[in-house]
Structure 1
Amino acid sequence: MVGFGVSIFLITLGAIFKWAIKAHLSGIDLPALGVILMVVGAASFLLQLVMSSRQPKPRPGADIVNDDRSNPPV
């Protein structure tokens, strides 16, 4: 899954294609491509927010590991 930075980059790139570039290329609709990139970036950003909020928070003292190799756990 892409990170927050890539999502913001896609939104920014899409906005540039949509509103800043005035060139006309045959076969490519740059404003439509910009909208597609912005939608993909926004969806990715929202998915990142949802997935990061669903991760369990570590509890204090949860990293204690039994490293006594002479007495393995049962």
Structure 2
Amino acid sequence: MRLGGALFLIALGAILKWAVTVHNTHGFNVNTAGVILMIVGAIGLVAELIYMSTRRRTDVVHQGVGGTRTTTYEVPPEPRY
């Protein structure tokens, strides 16, 4: 689940929880489904933020004058925990 998907589930769950009023549900509670969607969206959001913060990043530097071009990949040092 990506960031947009998690935010969509949270928004959909909030709409089902607080904006929809249903009379006579016959065993299916829309409000409970909204809470479940918000919880799943929040878990997906936290997981995506953790994944994004721990990704390894590289910088690509293009250098050159007069038609020559060299590419340098600069890798940041490993984090010290």
TM-score bracket, normalised by the shorter chain, equals 0.7 to 0.9
Q: What amino acid sits opposite 1:62 in the alignment? A: Y
Q: What amino acid sits opposite 1:29 in the alignment? A: N
Which protein is richer in helix relative to its size?
1
- Equivalent residue of 2:73, what SS? coil
**Structure 2 residue aligned with 1:27:** 27
Higher relative contact order (CA 8 A, sep 6+): 1
Offset of residue 62 of structure 1: 1.6
Offset of residue 59 of structure 1: 3.6
RMSD: 1.5
Per the normalisation by structure 1, the TM-score is 0.76
User: Which of the numbers 73, 77, 81 marks the counterpart of 1:62?
Assistant: 73
Percent identity between matched residues is: 37
Which protein is richer in strand relative to its size?
2
Number of equivalent positions: 62
Structure 2 unaligned segments of length 5 or more: list them: 61-71, 75-81
Cα separation, 1, equivalents of 2:27 and 2:58? 51
- 2:23 aligned with 1:12, yes or no? no
Per the normalisation by structure 2, the TM-score is 0.70
Q: Which contiguous aligned blocks of 4+ residues in structure 1 show a shift greater than 6 angstroms?
A: none
Cα separation, 2, equivalents of 1:16 and 1:35? 10
- Equivalent residue of 1:23, what SS? coil
